[in-house]
Structure 1
Amino acid sequence: MERVAQRIDLPRSNQEEYLRLHRSVWPEVEATLTRAGIRNYSIFLADEMLFAYFEIDSATSFAHASATIAQDPKTREWWKLTDPLQRRVEGTPDNEQWFRLQEIWHLD
């Protein structure tokens, strides 16, 4: 299993809409995440920062899971609603929305 932590900013002016959307995440989007091998997915909010944590099944990789998710039309439609609400963190690669954090320690 691969653990992934990511962050992005969420301006206060966009928080109400972002939270509204996430109170009812589309079932098709959730199904795509599951199909891609994503498990134990959580998003947290602190001030204007979103922090996401999820795990990827050992049968796949981050790159493969990301590609599977990006190919889904319903997920791309979801991103058209959520991405404009977010503010990318400096240093985020051009082809990614969220900045991936480096894992430095873990305790089971």
Structure 2
Amino acid sequence: MKRYGTVIRVKPEKLEEYKKLHADVWEDVKRKIKEVHIENYSIYYKEGYLFSYYEYSGDDYEGDMKKMAMDERTKEWWKLTDPCQQPVESASPGEWWSVMEEVFHLD
């Protein structure tokens, strides 16, 4: 299992919309997340930033992320959520949610 922390900005005028969407995530989307071996998934908000944490238990992360990105229902979901977000200033070209470096962990 590998832990991931990621960060992105949320557009201030879209925060409430984003929260409303995530109060009722589509079952198809949740099922796909689990199907691609993502577990213990949370998204937090603080002062214009969204922070996500999840654990990946598969053995082909890139393949699983491609599988999720090709899913039609997930693409529909992202059409609603993506306009609420914008990459952080330090994001690499083409990077949406920026992967953070883990500096400490305690089991």
Q: TM class by shorter-chain length? A: over 0.9
State the TM-score, normalized to the length of structure 2.
0.92
For structure 1, which runs of at least 5 residues remain unmatched after alignment?
none
**Runs of 4+ with deviation above 4 angstroms:** none
Question: Structure 2: 5+ residue runs without aligned partners?
Answer: none
Matched to 1:78, the amino acid is W
Instruction: State the alpha-carbon separation in 2 of the partners of residues 23 and 42 from structure 1.
Output: 12
SS at match of 1:30: helix
- 1:105, distance to aligned residue in structure 2 (A): 1.9
- Does residue 74 in structure 1 map to residue 73 in structure 2? yes
Q: String of CA shifts for 1:66-87, please: whole Å, max 9, x gaps.
A: 1121011100110011001101
Read off the aligned partner of 1:44 and give its amino acid letter: Y
Residue of structure 1 in register with 2:51 after alignment: 51
Q: Partner of 1:105 in structure 2?
A: 104
Q: CA deviation at 1:101?
A: 0.3
Q: Percent identity?
A: 37
Q: Is the 8 A contact 1:43 1:52 kept in 2?
A: yes
Aligned length: 107
TM-score, structure 1 as length reference: 0.91
